[in-house]
Amino acid sequence: MKVIKKMAKAFIVAFSIYSKLPMPRFTWESDDMKYHLCFFPWVGAVLGGAEALWYSLCTQKELSSVAFALVAIVIPILITGGFHLDGFMDTCDALHSYQDREKKLEILKDPHIGAFAVICLAAYLLLMAGALAILFDAAASEAVWFLEGGHGIAVLCMGCFLSRALSGISVVTMPGAKKKGMLQTFSDTAGKKTVLVILVLQTVLLAIGMLLLNPVLGCITLLSAAFTYVYYWHVSKKQFGGITGDLAGYFVSLTELVIIGMAAIVTVLCM
pLDDT tens track for 81-107: 998 999 999 999 999 988 888 999 999
Contact indicator for 220, 135 with CB cutoff of 8 Å: no
Condensed to tens digits (0 to 9), the pLDDT of residues 35-78 reads: 889 999 999 999 999 999 999 999 999 999 999 999 999 999 99
pLDDT at position 15: 94
Contact indicator for 225, 259 with CB cutoff of 8 Å: yes
Q: Region of 241 please: left (phi>0), alpha (psi -120 to 50) or beta.
A: left
| Rounded Cα–Cα distance for residues 115 and 255 (Å) | 23
Condensed to tens digits (0 to 9), the pLDDT of residues 147-177 reads: 887 788 999 999 999 999 999 999 999 988 7
pLDDT at position 145: 87
| Rounded Cα–Cα distance for residues 29 and 91 (Å) | 30
How do the domains of the chain map onto residue ranges?
Answer: 40-270
Residue 146 has pLDDT above 90, yes or no: no
Confidence of residue 184 (pLDDT cuts 50, 70, 90): low
Exposure of 231 by Cβ count < 10 A (0-12 exposed, 13-18 middle, 19+ buried)?
Answer: middle
Q: Which residues pair with 243 in a beta bridge?
A: 176
Q: Region of 61 please: left (phi>0), alpha (psi -120 to 50) or beta.
A: alpha
| Rounded Cα–Cα distance for residues 182 and 256 (Å) | 23
Confidence of residue 271 (pLDDT cuts 50, 70, 90): confident
Contact indicator for 230, 166 with CB cutoff of 8 Å: no
| Rounded Cα–Cα distance for residues 179 and 201 (Å) | 29
Confidence of residue 225 (pLDDT cuts 50, 70, 90): very high
| Rounded Cα–Cα distance for residues 268 and 246 (Å) | 33
